[in-house]
Structure 1
Amino acid sequence: MAKKQAARAARQEMSGMARLGLRVSSMINHPVAQAQRWVTIHRLDTDGDREWEEVLGVIAETAELELNLNDDGSVTVRWEQQEIEKAGRGETELEPEEEALPF
């Protein structure tokens, strides 16, 4: 019995913000979204107002991301493929698509 209680105490419930941030990040980093460079995010019934507004705020503040609010309440996030300059040669190459977003 003590083992079960200890296991429950060790396992922590994921916060609504963490759960929403993980879902949005996963959607943006999905290979299909990376190939098309946009994704539409729908708000779920389990997403709280505060969490939804905070995630939208993070997306809106991220310079590389463009946020479009849709009539149905969903949000479309778009981005351009980033170019990085090779050190010392002035050449540009495309930035890897796997870069994690800030949430």
Structure 2
Amino acid sequence: MTWANMQSKRAQRPKPSGIERLGLRVSSMINHPVAQIQRWVTIHRLDTDGEREWEEVMGLLSETDGIDMIFNDDESVTIKWEAGAEENRPVEVLKEIEGAAPF
């Protein structure tokens, strides 16, 4: 594929809407390994986040079961959640097999 063809395909892709960009950013922050370990994340509103988009995403989060939201003085939002059922399951320990590997 030539450089011109790649540029043409890139130009044809629709740009994500403001709510899609914000949703992807929030989702990425929540799914980050550190946030998953600590079970909380603080989301800061950027200058590029519109009022309508911010309110819609925060509204969707507030409707989600198991999420606590703290609205901070600096207009950021801290989201906390409890461990899910899969995360609390006991770890299965397998017995070590004696002897050499067959290969």
1:79–1:11 Cα change, 3 Å: same
Q: Where do 4+ consecutive residues of structure 1 move more than 2 Å?
A: 3-10
- Please list every run of 5 or more consecutive structure 1 residues that lacks an aligned counterpart in the other structure: 85-91, 95-103
For residue 24 of structure 1, report the CA deviation from its aligned partner: 0.1
2:73 aligned residue? 71
Alignment length, in residue pairs? 86
Q: Secondary structure at the match of 1:50?
A: helix
For residue 10 of structure 1, report the CA deviation from its aligned partner: 2.2
In structure 1, what residue type is equivalent to 2:89? E
Structure with greater Cα Rg: 2
1:60–1:6 Cα change, 3 Å: same
- Please list every run of 5 or more consecutive structure 2 residues that lacks an aligned counterpart in the other structure: 91-103
Q: Secondary structure at the match of 1:93?
A: coil
CA distance in 1, matches of 2:7, 2:23: 29
In structure 2, what residue type is equivalent to 1:21? G
For residue 4 of structure 1, report the CA deviation from its aligned partner: 8.2
What's the RMSD between the two structures over aligned residues?
Answer: 2.1
For residue 64 of structure 1, report the CA deviation from its aligned partner: 1.5
1:93 aligned residue? 89
Range moving further from structure 2, 24-33 or 10-19:
10-19
TM-score (norm 2): 0.74
